[in-house]
Amino acid sequence: MNAATPHGRQMMPMTHDGMERPYLLQVPTHSPTGPMPLLVQLHGRGIDPVRFDRLTGFGALADQEGFAIAMPGAIGEIWNDGRDAAPESMRPDDVGYLTAVIADACARLPIDRRRIYLAGMSNGAAIAGRMACERAELIAGLAQVAGTAGMSVVAATRPARPVPIISIHGTADRVAPYQGGVRRGLLPHVMIRHAAGPSIGVDDWAAFWVAADGATTGPSTTTLPPDVTIRTWHGPTPASDVVFYRLEGCGHTWPGAHIPLPALLFGRTSRTIDAARVCWEFLAAHAG
């Protein structure tokens, strides 16, 4: 292990496209004896990586399970997930930045390159979805909460190889509507300023990955009362796995959040599952 990356968290310097874009790197307290998995944790719009980690609880889970976490930050806390109206040349190259973060983390730590995963919420879920579509060769698994991907991304790209995906989304999400469309503000009927292109709906996003991953068997359905329905598709290999959690009546929230978001603004938070643990158990079962 590089002497510059002791156990715990440290800010790693990085320059991308002529801009200083450092990221946090967390090394688990009890590192595995061999190469370790890497989780790239992607915050939502308007929240920094540290506060987002407090919401998800991935940091504590990483120390228990022995995986490293890279926590990059978006410019202005908004990822270029492909939905903005400005020309691509005027937007930050966040796919390139995340690719560079992965390469830098792998240079600093003994990372198992077959076990590099993305996990994000909201705008962070959407950039993770874009990354999985455009750089599938780097990713062994994708976990999304309260977000899918921009319609423009879905129309323009197809993943180069199957990517296992787990998605968790509330049916009463006002910010990232379950049925897709243009993202909204925190209050009903209030649009986000400078809102741009639409997102694909959850069911259409599931169909996209079922086709991309060759998941020809399913869906099988499981329920976890009172509010969770799980649809699962399988294919010829574990890389074909597609798992979608539907949270009935839940909002733009992180299920089982350690610090719940205000219900008045974000809607109800499910306590039926712990999203961090559910996502990690799915991701850890897959290797590229």
Inside any domain, residue 1: no
CATH, residue 49 = 3.40.50.1820
Q: Which long-range contacts (CB under 8 A, 24 or more apart) does 50-55 make?
A: 50/24, 52/121, 52/124, 54/258, 54/259, 55/121, 55/254, 55/257, 55/258, 55/259, 55/261
Output the CA torsion 94→50→145→95 (10° steps).
Answer: 10
d(CA 143, CA 13): 26
Q: Name residues whose C-beta falls within 8 Å of residue 86's C-beta, 6 or more positions apart in sequence.
A: none
Q: How many folded domains does the chain comprise?
A: 1
Residue appearing with tokens 């002529």: 18
pLDDT at 191: 42
Considering the entire predicted model, what is its pTM?
A: 0.93
Is the distance from CB of 221 to CB of 230 less than 8 angstroms?
A: yes
Q: Which helix (H) or strand (E) holds 101?
A: helix 94-108
Inside any domain, residue 95: yes
Q: Which portions of the chain are predicted below pLDDT 50?
A: 1-4, 188-194
Two tokens, residue 135: 């750089």
The 8-class DSSP code of residue 197 comes to S
pLDDT at 135: 97
Residue appearing with tokens 């977000």: 147
pLDDT at 270: 97
Inside any domain, residue 3: no
Residue appearing with tokens 């979608």: 244
Q: Which long-range contacts (CB under 8 A, 24 or more apart) does 6-14 make?
A: 7/31, 9/59, 12/104, 12/105, 12/108, 14/100, 14/101, 14/104
Inside any domain, residue 201: yes
pLDDT at 5: 55
d(CA 82, CA 127): 8
pLDDT at 139: 97
Backbone angles phi, psi at 124, to 5 degrees: -70, -35
Inside any domain, residue 2: no
Residue appearing with tokens 């897709």: 180
Range of 128's domain? 8-284
